Amino acid sequence: MDREFIIKNQIVERYLAGRLPPKGVTDFEKLIRSRPQLIEELGLPDKVNAGLRLLDAAGIAEPWAEKPKAFWQNPVFIFGAAGLAAAALIACLVLALQVVSRDKAIVKLKTDIADRPIAPSTHKRTVLIAAARNGPPAGANVSLNYGDFAELKVDLSWTRFTTFKVAIDRVDQGRVAVIDGLTKDSNGHVRISLNAGAFGPGDYTVELAGLNLRRESLPVAWVRFNVAR
pLDDT tens-digit series, residues 144-167: 888 888 899 999 999 999 999 999
Mean pLDDT of the chain: 81
User: What was the pLDDT predicted at 58?
Assistant: 62
39/166: higher pLDDT: 166
Could you tell me if 124 and 151 are in contact, meaning their C-beta atoms sit under 8 angstroms apart?
Answer: yes
How would residue 72 be classed by pLDDT, with cut points 50, 70 and 90?
low
Q: Can you name the CATH fold of 123-227?
A: Immunoglobulin-like (2.60.40)
Q: Spell out the domain ranges in the chain.
A: 3-57, 71-115, 123-227
Q: Worst-scoring range by mean pLDDT, 38-52, 117-131, 164-178, 206-220? A: 38-52
> Quick one: 16 exposed, middle or buried, by C-beta within 10 A (0-12, 13-18, 19+)?
middle
Buried b (16+ CB within 10 A) or exposed e, 168-195: bbeeeeeebeebeebebeeeebbebebb
How would residue 50 be classed by pLDDT, with cut points 50, 70 and 90?
low
Residues 6 or more apart from 165 whose CB is under 8 A from it? Answer: 178, 179, 180, 181, 182, 208, 209, 211, 217
Query: pTM for this structure?
Result: 0.49
